[in-house]
Amino acid sequence: MKLFSLNSESGFSLIEVLIALLILSIVIAGGGLFFFYARCAIVREGHRRVALQTASQKIEELKATSYEKILESMPFPKEEVDNLPSGNTITTEIEDLGGYLEATVTVSWQNNSPQKVSLVTLIASR
């Protein structure tokens, strides 16, 4: 009894195998792109989180400082953050609005395009 016949017409043709390989390669390429772009998004959001934490910390430092001391310290120098790509800056701007100060802390950095996070608070004299 023969299990396989060389003249049998059952099985896959070469075209069917090539189409299956094409579909499989498209799915694998799509999955690879998905993971690549997901990784880029994770890195970008990690930088944004660090920038937000840094700006928030700077705002809290300003709120803990007396009104008069802030006025004496102006203008604030630009600083850098260690956990962001090089070329990043922390800019602190204080505007005297008569009786209270408007403090704006901006953290900017460069990914593929310029990115920035700004936080604003009001500080009253005590």
Q: What is the pLDDT of residues 1-31, one digit of tens each?
A: 556 555 656 667 889 889 999 999 999 999 9
Note the pLDDT tens digit of each residue in 41-77.
999 999 999 999 999 999 999 999 888 888 888 888 8
Note the pLDDT tens digit of each residue in 83-119.
888 888 999 999 988 888 999 999 999 888 899 999 9
pTM for this predicted structure: 0.71
Beta-bridge partners for 96:
101
Q: Taking CA 93 as the corner, what is the angle to CA 88 and CA 68, rounded to the nearest 5 degrees? A: 130
- Phi and psi of 59, rounded to 5°? -60, -45
Rounded Cα gap, residues 4 and 113, in angstroms: 62
Whether the Cβ atoms of residue 90 and residue 109 lie closer than 8 Å to each other:
no
